[in-house]
Structure 1
């Protein structure tokens, strides 16, 4: 009995010292992890509501960045196309001037056009033309255009500065057959003719449009996947909340039944040496309820020494000497009495 009285000293049990412990955390782990965990719990509703806004902002930023990138790419394509036209017109005018000084024939001019057309970055959609002083086309490639013999300034509408200033007008946008073209005109020496290089804008931006189409498709697919994930997330969150509510209601009903019946529920994990007590068990013994698992020693410490030993009982169960527990023992109440 002296030993029992010593156990009954105030503050002597592990249960009375559990106020200094967190649920499953102790020491430095509690100091480091618990504040962050509490902040996370407090911020969880805000984070849940902010997820749709974050996804929308993410998609808008991605779309804006990709749009700017595509527009820069379009400017580069346009700049390269204009540079090719300007160089081709200048080279063609220079070659015509040299050929004229050598007394070339119209057939030689057509061959010159074909040769320049095959050089550099000239594509099938590019058109090269040589005109006389009245801007009447005397040679053109490809000949399938049917422009030979027609006036270039009548074909290319809106390009009057080209025929007045030549190279100084740069590359301009003109209308040919109801379509938008880029055109560059270079006047030959003595203004006895001109060389022109033209290309449809549709041909210039054909590859770029395919890139835009691919990017739009990928963006739509990405947005669709994120929307599906968002829908699944909120669906799962709603089901989790419903499950938590059902669990809490069932748990409260069980606790109420246990409290009114003056019963306590034990869940004994012998492998890990841990026990879970219902809140009614804490209430019967006057201790502060705790959601954490109790250790073997904490429970054994408040059992009367004359009423059995949990360690011995566990060993008998493990050895299969018994297959159920029917044990009567006294436990130390928080106020020191035996229950």
Structure 2
């Protein structure tokens, strides 16, 4: 059976007679006025043929005429081409074979000799079909012809060929040309094909011509036969058309009646959202009415559908057509009522209900399942929506935190959620729909013991008809009840135990709050008093800050002014003491005066350096110190600073070394860099014991150049490092210090480094030495 159904498509294409028999079986439909799909197709084909046959007949006659005309025209062209080729070949053959005697033509009787030579050079059959060979001398006059044409001889060849074709047209290889030839017989010009070849020697040319009437005589006979056959065929075809239309006109009335009847049935089926089907179970073929096609959004067809066509659009999860057919054939059942889905043309699924009965016509062994398919998509969707709505309602009721229960008009249970069941400890047996209210309450083990009816005003937001109740286990519920439209009622219980406990706590908190408010009032008075004091203190702080800033500014200005005033007399003291020390204007008289002068010079120089440091520091603090950066050689700056401190280092036998590559350059102020290095080296020499070492290093780090001044001096403790590099700050106080200095050298160095955008750091260990390092921007190599 499966092989029969699966092979239906190829069987339907290869067995047309079986389709005819199957269409005859379709007359067993419940409505006998409906015919089969195949017969409907024939009816529609007849209507179409009635429109197409006249056109097809005319088109056939026209095509036949064009075809035969084309063939005749082609034959005409081939006949002409064949004649032209034959004339050209014969002219070439005769021209090549026309040989004159070595002594030439005799002066008398040369025409007879030339005719004989021409006759000898002609091939067999050359003069058949009206071909004429003409030989002309160099003057263009005809001297010989074959077959003999006495009327043409001695005439100029141009008179025969016509004045419209000068001899220059016919070259040695001019080909074949159509011309009008005058044979001189009084019959006028005769259309002929002519070819001319030039000859060498005493002869001028040879012309071969053939009348077109002789060329196309056979073609005209064929033309007459074809015209006769075409006219006869056209008359027979017209007679067949007349017979067809006479039969069609008699069947047209019956077709109109059939079409009207079928239209009414299809209209009724279409508006009823249903369609007819006839399933040949043995062959697996099925007929559908047009309404069933329209139900599925498909174009109606008159063909018999195969089992595969129907199975392709049937949902496999709903029905097994193959299994249904086998079951019906094996079990002998005759009634079918199935619900399944079929695919609509737009890709959606349509739910159909097929109801039918197996029928067999007398004399036919093939059983047919004949029935009707009804569209039940809307009913199915409504049922599905109702089911989904019920599920959503149950889910919604189940997910709410309150206990929910619904009773009908007879006070029977409709639905409740798990919260209601657990609240009253109800067994599963009594929460089934339809259980009476009294039975449910009788099975409850946790019922109300203290109902208290309350109004909306007693609990904000509580709906009308609600009340509070305490359960046996001590929990409190707020129960809201409403009547439904069908006379039942719905009850929602909310657990307010926590709210009750919270209310009790609020009562206690309210008492404590009142006591706290009293204490807060006293505290507020205290805070207001303290706030007034803070405002007054803030005003005083602002005044003191302004005074401090003004004092600091005045200090900086004072230092700048006093430093300037002190430098003028110091220059005189230093200069005159230097002159007296060198005894430029004579001896002083005693060595003690020379020692005094040296002391005055050294003291003045020291005081000038201190004043210069103070002046630089005051400029920096006042913001009046400006730097002008340029590309400076680090090695040159290190060399200059080292040379200046060499004297002080030599007195203490301290070794000062500089390890700075000559190709290193920085973007810095030249004077400021020199002062930074000088201050750091001077500090290192000052605090390094005798026979120590001081080292200046420089090495690049990224886009910066890092300078390091290392010494083997007394070192600095960790707590003192934090306050160094501040103005006037020294590790030793004024009572314990052993080295002179203002304490500004390191502060000035740090400030100058900061002005360059660098940073200065100190690493030290007591009695082992100190390393002071700083970074400056590294200059581009090409800029150097």
Normalising to structure 1: TM-score of the pair?
0.58
Tell me, yes or no, if the aligned pair for 2:27 and 2:36 is still in contact at 8 Å: no
Tell me, yes or no, if the aligned pair for 1:88 and 1:116 is still in contact at 8 Å: no
Tell me, yes or no, if the aligned pair for 1:126 and 1:197 is still in contact at 8 Å: yes
Tell which has more relative contact order, 1 or 2 (C-alpha 8 A, sep 6+): 1
Give the distance between the partners of 1:165 and 1:294, measured in 2 at CA: 89
Aligned runs of 1:123-142 on 2, under 5 Å?
123-142=128-147
Distance 1:23 1:192, change over 3 A: closer
Unaligned runs of 5+ in 1: 1-20, 28-32, 249-291, 297-339
Give the distance between the partners of 1:234 and 1:188, measured in 2 at CA: 72
Pair 1:234-2:234 in alignment? no
Tell me, yes or no, if the aligned pair for 1:153 and 1:163 is still in contact at 8 Å: no
Distance 1:45 1:240, change over 3 A: closer
Tell me, yes or no, if the aligned pair for 2:181 and 2:192 is still in contact at 8 Å: yes
SS in 2 for 1:160: coil
Tell me, yes or no, if the aligned pair for 1:158 and 1:174 is still in contact at 8 Å: no
Give the drift of 1:160: 3.5
User: When the two structures are aligned, how many residues end up with a matched partner?
Assistant: 225
Aligned equivalent of 1:94, options 83, 93, 96: 96
Residue aligning to 1:264: none
Residue aligning to 1:45: 47
What do the CA deviations read for 1:170-228 (whole angstroms, capped 9, x no partner)?
11111113221111111101474211100111111111111111111111111111011
Tell me, yes or no, if the aligned pair for 1:89 and 1:184 is still in contact at 8 Å: yes
Give the distance between the partners of 2:252 and 2:360, measured in 1 at CA: 24
Aligned runs of 1:52-91 on 2, under 5 Å?
52-91=54-93
SS in 2 for 1:51: helix
Distance 1:153 1:43, change over 3 A: same
Distance 1:114 1:175, change over 3 A: same
Considering fraction of residues, name the structure with more strand.
Answer: 2
Residue aligning to 2:193: 182
Give the distance between the partners of 2:24 and 2:54, measured in 1 at CA: 33
Considering fraction of residues, name the structure with more helix.
Answer: 1
Give the distance between the partners of 2:203 and 2:119, measured in 1 at CA: 21
Give the distance between the partners of 1:164 and 1:192, measured in 2 at CA: 18
Give the drift of 1:236: 3.0
Tell me, yes or no, if the aligned pair for 2:136 and 2:204 is still in contact at 8 Å: yes
Give the distance between the partners of 1:142 and 1:186, measured in 2 at CA: 18
Give the distance between the partners of 1:112 and 1:91, measured in 2 at CA: 14
Residue aligning to 2:214: 203
Aligned runs of 1:260-299 on 2, under 5 Å?
295=362
Residue aligning to 2:176: 171
What do the CA deviations read for 1:287-330 (whole angstroms, capped 9, x no partner)?
xxxxx99749xxxxxxxxxxxxxxxxxxxxxxxxxxxxxxxxxx
Aligned runs of 1:204-223 on 2, under 5 Å?
204-223=215-234
Give the distance between the partners of 1:102 and 1:225, measured in 2 at CA: 73
Distance 1:165 1:48, change over 3 A: closer
Distance 1:229 1:164, change over 3 A: closer
Normalising to structure 2: TM-score of the pair?
0.26
Give the distance between the partners of 2:145 and 2:43, measured in 1 at CA: 77
Give the drift of 1:166: 2.5
Unaligned runs of 5+ in 2: 1-21, 29-34, 183-188, 259-358, 364-784
